[in-house]
């Protein structure tokens, strides 16, 4: 979608969301880029999710593209920047972490979802996604509840198995790291660790934003992304 002849930009969303996550950014980014949206397939490793992106890019005839990923989408972006550096132009890593807890925690959460379904985790996730001031939660609750439990469980396992703390220095793409100041899931400290580990990275912390900073502070988020992608 967007400007078909423009520079390609892949938007990679968070676990528990669909590509609708990027609705606040599309009016601006779609005027300047060939925006590619997709939903994660059920995969239990970030590497497999990254390979999905490369396969999609190949199918669309995209050579080199920029990527903006949030949370799990940012993990996919890190993997791509290291394992397919010739394909990544500019990179935005938003509300994400190079290491998010321990595998056992994510494995237990995946087992819970498989046993009890999405209602077992969806309401808790909303508390981390937004600050108390945000009033548009219902749409995101419905979004989560509509995700098949097995798809979500595999996504949890992918997050649990991801550890890029020792590989950040291999990322050569010009990188912007974005954090929500009130994000308790992937904290500003997590973002600072990524930004310090990537040689070409800069860091922006958005006040008044939880984990889905692109929604809660959409104008500031979009402005920062656009400035970075324009170089």
Q: What is the pTM of this model?
A: 0.96
Percentage of the residues of the chain whose pLDDT score is greater than 90: 93
Checking if the pLDDT of 209 tops 70, the result is: yes
Checking if the pLDDT of 194 tops 90, the result is: yes
What span, in angstroms and rounded, lies between the C-alpha atoms of 188 and 181?
6
pLDDT at 156: 98
- For the chain, give the mean pLDDT: 96
Checking if the pLDDT of 1 tops 80, the result is: no
Give the pLDDT confidence of 103-134 residue by residue, as tens digits: 999 999 999 999 999 999 999 989 999 999 99
CB 169 within 8 A of CB 196: no
What are the residue boundaries of the structural domains of the chain, listed by start? 8-100+163-230
Mean pLDDT of 73-99: 98
Checking if the pLDDT of 5 tops 90, the result is: no
What span, in angstroms and rounded, lies between the C-alpha atoms of 143 and 174?
32
Percentage of the residues of the chain whose pLDDT score is greater than 70: 98
Mean pLDDT of 39-52: 98
Mean pLDDT of 60-67: 97
CATH number for the segment(s) 8-100+163-230? 3.40.50.1820
The larger pLDDT score, comparing residue 6 to residue 89, is at: 89
Catalogue the E-assigned strands of the chain: 8-12, 34-37, 65-70, 88-94, 175-180, 201-206
pLDDT at 175: 98
């Amino acid at each position: 979608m967007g400007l078909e002849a423009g520079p390609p930009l892949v938007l990679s969303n968070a676990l528990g969301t669909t590509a609708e996550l990027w609705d606040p950014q599309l009016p601006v980014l779609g005027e300047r880029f060939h925006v590619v949206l997709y939903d994660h397939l059920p995969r239990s490793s970030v590497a497999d999710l990254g390979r999905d992106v490369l396969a999609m890019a190949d199918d669309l005839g995209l050579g080199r593209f920029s990527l903006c990923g949030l949370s799990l989408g940012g993990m996919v972006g890190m993997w791509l920047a290291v394992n397919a550096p010739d394909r990544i132009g500019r990179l935005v890593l938003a509300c994400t972490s190079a290491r998010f807890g321990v595998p056992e925690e994510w494995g237990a959460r995946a087992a819970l979802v498989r046993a009890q379904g999405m209602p077992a985790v969806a309401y808790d996730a909303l508390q981390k996604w937004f600050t108390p001031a945000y009033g548009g939660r219902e749409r995101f609750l419905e979004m989560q509840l509509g995700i098949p439990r097995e798809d979500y469980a595999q996504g949890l396992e992918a997050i649990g198995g991801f550890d890029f703390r020792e590989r950040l220095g291999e990322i050569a793409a010009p990188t912007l790291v974005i954090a929500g100041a009130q994000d308790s899931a992937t904290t500003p400290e997590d973002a600072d660790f990524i930004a310090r580990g990537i040689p070409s990275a800069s860091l922006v912390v958005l006040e008044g934003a939880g984990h889905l900073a692109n929604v809660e502070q959409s104008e500031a988020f979009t402005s920062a992304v656009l400035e970075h992608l324009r170089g």
